[in-house]
Structure 1
Amino acid sequence: MCAAFSPFVGNISSFDHQQQDWSTFKSRLEQFFLANGINEESDKSGVKRRAILLSALTDDSFKLASNLVLPNTLDKVSFQKIIDVLDAHFIPKRCGFAERSKFYAASQQQGESYAQWAVRLRGLAAHCNFKHLEDALLDKFVMGMAAGPEREKIFTLDIKELTLSAAVDQAESVRCARAAAAASAPAGTSGGGDVLFKIEGVSKSQPDTDRVKCAVCGRKNHKTSECRFARYKCKKCNSKGHLRKMCNKVNYVGEDNVSEGDDE
């Protein structure tokens, strides 16, 4: 048995106006016609193109199209007429300044990569009718970037030589370098330097009088169990576990060995 043969190159999916975008479907339909050599020369009457279009509509979309061409019927209306009424119905009229307002109000979202941010800007600029599109895209890309080293790096570059593509590459390079540096840093290190004490649950605005003194050294910026002087020997009683200023013993032991300020 011979394999089924399709006369067309590729295929066109059905269109449901309640779930799909008309402009996207229309563009795909045009590409389908182009791939199969269906045009105004090969289909002068438009009957073939009309049949392909109508057969791709779901029941609800077919009914909508029928209502839009009333009092005519779809089989009596030209292909271009059907396209025109569907365009008028699905594609809203756009106000140039309203579109520009959306463009200028946009900013890079959390979790959005620099490449994604640039692509989203191009979509927002589609109906803005900028005279110098690339300049507008570059300006908004940089001004709308999230604050950080990437944005600061772009600010140092020569704007005369900078393009949107170069700005995206520069931002991604800085981001990758930061990620690589963080991944290669030794475990437990931080950019803030060595920490003398680990402080937990203490608010910067919390009054000092509300904090509990460390029983080892008397300070209030850490817990007793975390004190670095816990293994020091008291110069007053010669016992480990506290400094001299926290010693409550009356008698001095080894007084001759005591030096002034040794606990400090």
Structure 2
Amino acid sequence: MSVDRVSLSVGILSTFDHGRGDSWKSYKGRLLQWYIANDINATTDATGIRRRAILLSALAEGSYQLAVDLALPKTLEDVPFEDILAILDAHFTPKRLGIGERHKFYAATQQPSESHTEWAARLRGLTAHCNFSNVEEALRDRFVIGMRPGLEKEKLYAKDLTELTLTKAVELAESIRCAHAGAASSSNAGVIASAVEVERGAMFKMEGTKSDSKNSASAGVSATKSKCHVCGFFHKSKICKYRNHVCNRCHVAGHLRRACPQIGYVATGGAAEDDDDDVYTS
């Protein structure tokens, strides 16, 4: 099983493998900090032999072979520690051209998923090799110009440059964003509440419509048909099947007990067959 870490009294030093995309600049920084944490310096290691041995043992196979090739015609184990660092610096940190670096800076724009704070931090990183005479002014201008379109950008465009710094621009953009998000959230809550009320109203209206329709249907039947004096329901008396029935109350043929003129009562709620005291004939 391969070991990819070197561990001493303080901290862990991982291996450097340029083949898997490791950054030499970042690794070098962590290496030097690891030396400090473990009290390994020019005083405790005057010859640099220990520091060189730790560095070379922490290089992955491919990176070690690269260092060997870069040190030729010298043997890597004979090259001083500081010289090995210089050789690797020259290989992994190519010379940067000012105009090219400034082009990257001026072409940068805020990404959709990037917050204003993250956008400002990324811009500051891009100025490392631009050699601006006034870095803060360049950062402020590019921060505002490269922002995503929106209310924050519009507000910053209206600000006086003599009072606007990068820090103030970031703070103002964030405060506007938070205020806008809060207002939008409040508006959405109101829209949802209104939608619920509309839905409730629609439900009540539907229920009322059903009831109104039923009543209207009954009223329509009453309006279009006359009440039968034989049984009390709405149809013509001459077609009523009970027109020859003998009333159980007055014993006169021609109507049901429910429609008996002697009691002045006419029922319309149920079917004629529900009258248990009557005997029906066709």
TM-score bracket for the superposition, by shorter chain length: 0.5 to 0.7
Alpha-carbon separation, structure 2, partners of 1:7 and 1:93: 35
Counterpart of 1:68, as a letter, is L
| Aligned match of 2:162 | 160
| Aligned match of 2:10 | 9
| Aligned match of 2:254 | none
Question: Could you report, residue by residue, the CA deviation over 1:104-128 in whole angstroms, capped at 9, with x for unpaired residues?
Answer: 1111122211111111101111100
How far 1:56 moved relative to its partner? 0.9
| Aligned match of 2:124 | 122
**What residue ranges of structure 2 are gaps of 5+ in the alignment?**
1-6, 193-208, 210-282
How do 1:175-254 and structure 2 match up within 5 A? 175-187=177-189, 189=191
Question: Could you report, residue by residue, the CA deviation over 1:184-205 in whole angstroms, capped at 9, with x for unpaired residues?
Answer: 1145749xxxxxxxxxxxxxxx
Question: Could you report, residue by residue, the CA deviation over 1:7-45 in whole angstroms, capped at 9, with x for unpaired residues?
Answer: 532121110012201011001111111222222122110
| Aligned match of 1:58 | 60
Question: Secondary structure at the residue paired with 2:9?
Answer: coil
Q: Which of 151, 154, 158 is residue 153 of structure 2 equivalent to?
A: 151
**Structure 1 residues 68 and 186, CA, compared in 2 at 3 Å: closer, same or farther?**
closer
- TM-score normalised by length of structure 1: 0.66
Counterpart of 1:76, as a letter, is D
| Aligned match of 1:70 | 72
Counterpart of 1:103, as a letter, is F
Alpha-carbon separation, structure 1, partners of 2:120 and 2:188: 34
| Aligned match of 1:242 | none
| Superposition CA RMSD, Å | 1.9
| Aligned match of 2:133 | 131
Alpha-carbon separation, structure 2, partners of 1:112 and 1:163: 20
Alpha-carbon separation, structure 2, partners of 1:24 and 1:7: 20
Alpha-carbon separation, structure 2, partners of 1:106 and 1:186: 34
Greater helix share, structure number: 2
| Aligned match of 2:174 | 172
Q: Which of 37, 42, 45 is residue 43 of structure 1 equivalent to?
A: 45
Report the number of matched residues: 186
Alpha-carbon separation, structure 1, partners of 2:58 and 2:128: 28
